[in-house]
Structure 1
């Protein structure tokens, strides 16, 4: 069997009173303080909790109440789920169930994969989390499998292969359940693949539908790809971050990655639907609308970053909005009913575009971008890591602010036309050049931003290493995030002041969660340095802190 039999630890009397987790549990995530049942802490992915027991006055007494080794040296990027007193965490090597009250491991089910798979996984051996529904745990694997485990025992219930990993396709994404359908994404845009999203029957593993993100001949958007070749088959547009869901509109909002190859001269045109968000109907995978963040993307500005759903007041009128901080350096607000832009403001240094034209929805490119398309090697901001990478930001609906870790780093590119797609081999069509960092220039910032106006309320520079941590905001005005140097911190949402810090001993970039157990508020985060990228020119963080991985849970110590 690919997946080893679950290792059951201790008594079988697990704290799982209600095994049949329902659609209502998912819809109410964020309202039930004892549960975290979806990626993003709610279908809207705001990563905001109204819990306020941990607050500005007592956060200094926050201490670890338990930690558990993840037995992993290649990085932790998973968001924990919490249901009926059990925490579910994943990484590339196994799935683990933990008693949240004590930190005792209940079961751990290994994932077996061919070591050769590692060569087609970009970028890093990781997994970002699970989904739970009707007594099952769902996850993806780097060798292109999606599977279901029994929530109580960890026993494998079904296991389906969705692609051939030797062709460059892998998966690190956390699945989601929308309208009773299990939805998964995939990775591999750097390997000349064609991106897609899959829908599954969560009960049986039956494959229900596949939506390719790069249109084929005759499909809407196909006219933006070269007609004389079958380039769409290698067009990228992968789907490696989890989508949001609006149950009222019954639409799932899923980001897509860069076009393939990065070199735009071999694929002139907009290259739809790469570097975009697509709104799909969960029962069928039908695309209701799409919006392209970076037409003809040539910078690796993946459009996969989280799409936060919020109800905003715009010019005195209520609007169903979607908030997205793209790697291209612009912070967008869209109308999520139709994909029309409401606002778009730069949140980092941007030199490839002057602005986003709200009338057309298109960026207005600078002369620099036009010269690059003609083959000149020029420095562009943001660089290939983007103005923000995958670690998710948070949105506080009370203050209307987003909290985001940004990256302040340029790149230059030299395009070439000699590279051809080969199965399982990188397909970029360029050489990446790293400009030297100017003395004293920060690697990034932690910022609080009004998404409608683009106004920065406050910012804190990251001078020693790029800011690379997920965010969690709470009703007491706290903001939790991690640092590459090992600190897990609580900041004041009003001004960014660090109110509390704990060094886990290894880098923290996974998104934290908070919840209640027996009337007490806890905060949990996974720490594990291996999930952090090597960034050219940055200090070698791996020489500063160990790579050991663990899940840490904190609560306020009594006075």
Structure 2
């Protein structure tokens, strides 16, 4: 029989447990989301608040205390693919997504796993998304967690247990659609888009009832077959801006990432992507603006009703998307406060748009731009350089189709008045593709993608010189740069700013950094062991502030660009930091020495043919010049078994269960042999480098860098 004291302690324990449970289950409703900007303890929406600012009012970690920041905990994500997600934090619980749309719920102060949900994505779907099997996050509403899956489902989960409540198929799975973006919540409506423009799909975005998954509306972003009935008057109008038989190739215009919601205006803003195929000459021969490609479109969130649009790139032909993050703010503008939408999209111009009506207020280049000389504010149209359309002659495009700013989120600090963004200064050649053939199972660009004719070291040296990457502080009112911090490689992570006077960003060279928001001075840095593309978040539990980020390169141009990575492959992880913590990441072992690659047994013509085929079909995952970023196997460093069974993997699909699809629809046995010959030639190149003594390799790298400088000088 328990004593009265024991009964009291038991009752107190039960009450505390019940109280903690009730806090954990506090609903994420409209009033709570409306106050998210001032709620520093939680990170309830993708951009932290409905304005998508990624700015936190927390000050415990600040310019004075940041040097005391240490690792509080880490969580190993069981995959080798890239991590791009923004974790959400509600009442001490973190909800984060990994590869293949898997969701993890963790104790936000310890990293303890509470539950995981695997939607069971068919690994064959890896072949119908452009940029890795990544996922950028979940949404929260009431007591549910929402995730979009790579195979096109929108799924609602119980916040407490991870149990599936409902799932709704949002795509036609016979078409190459995929979801990698995070859903958004607009007062009880779950909004999700998709990707697949490169493969030949028609873009759209949909709204679904949060409690049931019922589809409430769908808004198409490009018109379909004119012989069929148009869905609405906007599609009928848009069709007048297209030519040829675009619908047979899909048209593109997918809403694959950014969506913002203004509850005061009751407007939902969607960022529309590139054309499919990219090249307008192929997609819409005869020209035309091709609405609503490369546009911001405002809709009513409850019905999907069209309100207004602004098109950044009429007749888009460079893979210039308008899918980058849209920040909502009220700014003083020419003597009055305007409700604006700010975006720094791929095309290199920083846009300020009146979000009530779509009026262009300003567009100034934040990176070097050569495709246009500026924007005509009266018409809202760019003043294009005619040669940039590469119709008659090739054109060195600046910025490239990778963008002056890609999906990696930026942050707006209302205290400094600055926007902090990961910028990319990269030029690339654009030229018409000869004898274009459309294939829905593979990329359809409409312009040439050619392999480097140089060796590995020289190619790497050229890439480093061609690419300038930096963290940029931008004044949106004065439309000018305030400061920049160069970063060593492209594809660096998204950005977080805080009232503590800090800017946090991860980099592809395995660092997580904190800078002063005022001047960009580096104040703290941590060896993350892995490249970081994901954006950081910050929150508080029991009065202690944490900063967390997902570390794991992969996805998008991390895979495709072909920049070397460290020889080891450490774990992909979620890392969380707080003041005076002192945990350490476990050391990782270098891989065992590998055997010499098999002989090539092919002539130079076969290797050249293989290089061309590799660039078209393989490089988007395995890297330019067969240089992998480590998220998928490096084909230069396989053991003999895989070379011996090369055709069975590439054409036979023997590894499809791991996400390596079969290419028997486009590659013959002889073409596969050519690719194998090219890969083996690259393997021998790398073998020779690996066997070289350090001092002689340093000399070779120095010579390659010198040669690259000379080539750039006379280019």
Q: Structure 2 matches for 1:83-122, cutoff 5 A?
A: 83-93=90-100, 94-122=102-130
| Alpha carbons 1:243, 1:255 under 8 Å: kept | yes
1:225 aligns with 2:242: yes
CA 1:557/1:269 → structure 2, altered by over 3 Å: closer, same or farther? same
Deviation at 1:41, TM superposition (A): 0.7
Deviation at 1:342, TM superposition (A): 0.8
1:454 aligns with 2:479: yes
Which of 122, 132, 156 aligns to 1:124? It is 132
Distance across 2 between alignment mates of 1:229 and 1:441:
37
User: Which has the higher mean CA deviation after the structures are superposed, 215-224 or 120-129?
Assistant: 215-224
- The corresponding residue for 1:256 is 272
- The corresponding residue for 2:161 is 153
Q: What whole-Å deviation, never above 9, does each CA across 1:250-289 have from its counterpart, x for those lacking one?
A: 0111101101111211312111101111111101111211
Q: Structure 2 matches for 1:143-222, cutoff 5 A?
A: 143-216=151-224, 217=226, 219-222=236-239
Deviation at 1:98, TM superposition (A): 0.6
Could you say what secondary structure the match of 1:159 adopts?
A: strand
CA 1:443/1:15 → structure 2, altered by over 3 Å: closer, same or farther? farther
| Alpha carbons 2:268, 2:301 under 8 Å: kept | yes
1:34 aligns with 2:59: no
| Alpha carbons 2:249, 2:276 under 8 Å: kept | no
Distance across 2 between alignment mates of 1:417 and 1:264:
15
User: Which has the higher mean CA deviation after the structures are superposed, 67-76 or 20-29?
Assistant: 20-29
Distance across 1 between alignment mates of 2:429 and 2:375:
22
Deviation at 1:413, TM superposition (A): 2.0
Distance across 1 between alignment mates of 2:524 and 2:144:
36
Q: Who wins on radius of gyration, i.e. which is larger?
A: 2
Could you say what secondary structure the match of 2:343 adopts?
A: strand
Q: What whole-Å deviation, never above 9, does each CA across 1:511-554 have from its counterpart, x for those lacking one?
A: 1111111111111111112236347776313x356352111111
Structure 1 unpaired stretches of 5+: 1-10
CA 1:201/1:102 → structure 2, altered by over 3 Å: closer, same or farther? same
User: Which has the higher mean CA deviation after the structures are superposed, 284-293 or 424-433?
Assistant: 424-433
| Alpha carbons 1:411, 1:432 under 8 Å: kept | no
- The corresponding residue for 2:302 is 283
Distance across 2 between alignment mates of 1:245 and 1:24:
14
Q: Structure 2 matches for 1:214-363, cutoff 5 A?
A: 214-216=222-224, 217=226, 219-226=236-243, 228-231=244-247, 234-266=250-282, 267=284, 268-363=287-382
Q: Structure 2 matches for 1:3-22, cutoff 5 A?
A: 16-22=23-29
- The corresponding residue for 2:669 is none
- The corresponding residue for 1:480 is 504
CA 1:53/1:309 → structure 2, altered by over 3 Å: closer, same or farther? same
- The corresponding residue for 2:402 is 385
| Alpha carbons 1:327, 1:386 under 8 Å: kept | yes
Q: Structure 2 matches for 1:58-73, cutoff 5 A?
A: 58-73=65-80
Deviation at 1:233, TM superposition (A): 6.3
- The corresponding residue for 1:403 is 420
| Alpha carbons 2:249, 2:277 under 8 Å: kept | no
| Alpha carbons 1:486, 1:507 under 8 Å: kept | yes
Q: What whole-Å deviation, never above 9, does each CA across 1:141-166 have from its counterpart, x for those lacking one?
A: 11111111100000011111122334
Distance across 2 between alignment mates of 1:343 and 1:491:
28
1:556 aligns with 2:575: no
User: Which has the higher mean CA deviation after the structures are superposed, 428-437 or 56-65?
Assistant: 428-437
1:529 aligns with 2:529: no
Distance across 1 between alignment mates of 2:560 and 2:25:
49
Which of 375, 381, 387 aligns to 1:368? It is 387
CA 1:315/1:27 → structure 2, altered by over 3 Å: closer, same or farther? same
User: Which has the higher mean CA deviation after the structures are superposed, 279-288 or 543-552?
Assistant: 543-552
| Alpha carbons 2:223, 2:247 under 8 Å: kept | no
Could you say what secondary structure the match of 1:408 adopts?
A: strand
Distance across 2 between alignment mates of 1:190 and 1:480:
33
Q: What whole-Å deviation, never above 9, does each CA across 1:432-483 have from its counterpart, x for those lacking one?
A: 2579748756521211111233211111222x31152100000121000000
The two structures, once aligned, show a CA RMSD in angstroms of 2.1
Could you say what secondary structure the match of 1:398 adopts?
A: coil
CA 1:433/1:547 → structure 2, altered by over 3 Å: closer, same or farther? farther
Q: Which has the higher strand share?
A: 1
Q: What whole-Å deviation, never above 9, does each CA across 1:75-126 have from its counterpart, x for those lacking one?
A: 1111011112111001233111111122111001112122211011111110
Deviation at 1:247, TM superposition (A): 0.4
Deviation at 1:14, TM superposition (A): 5.6
Distance across 2 between alignment mates of 1:14 and 1:152:
9
| Alpha carbons 1:507, 1:545 under 8 Å: kept | no
Distance across 2 between alignment mates of 1:49 and 1:220:
42
Q: What whole-Å deviation, never above 9, does each CA across 1:226-264 have from its counterpart, x for those lacking one?
A: 1x5253761101111131111000011110110111121
- The corresponding residue for 1:5 is none
Distance across 1 between alignment mates of 2:339 and 2:45:
21
Which of 398, 402, 419 aligns to 2:436? It is 419
- The corresponding residue for 1:503 is 527
Could you say what secondary structure the match of 1:42 adopts?
A: coil
- The corresponding residue for 1:512 is 536
Distance across 2 between alignment mates of 1:451 and 1:545:
41
CA 1:536/1:80 → structure 2, altered by over 3 Å: closer, same or farther? closer
Q: What whole-Å deviation, never above 9, does each CA across 1:365-415 have from its counterpart, x for those lacking one?
A: 014325x1x231121100111001100111111221111111111111222
- The corresponding residue for 1:7 is none
Q: Which has the higher helix share?
A: 2
Structure 2 unpaired stretches of 5+: 1-16, 227-234, 453-458, 583-715
Distance across 2 between alignment mates of 1:534 and 1:467:
6
Deviation at 1:420, TM superposition (A): 4.5
Distance across 2 between alignment mates of 1:488 and 1:545:
19
CA 1:441/1:279 → structure 2, altered by over 3 Å: closer, same or farther? same
Could you say what secondary structure the match of 1:30 adopts?
A: helix
Distance across 1 between alignment mates of 2:384 and 2:337:
31
| Alpha carbons 1:179, 1:250 under 8 Å: kept | no
Deviation at 1:421, TM superposition (A): 3.9
CA 1:210/1:547 → structure 2, altered by over 3 Å: closer, same or farther? farther
| Alpha carbons 1:214, 1:273 under 8 Å: kept | yes
- The corresponding residue for 2:149 is 141
Could you say what secondary structure the match of 1:444 adopts?
A: strand
- Higher RCO (C-alpha 8 Å, min separation 6): 1
Deviation at 1:423, TM superposition (A): 3.5
1:492 aligns with 2:516: yes
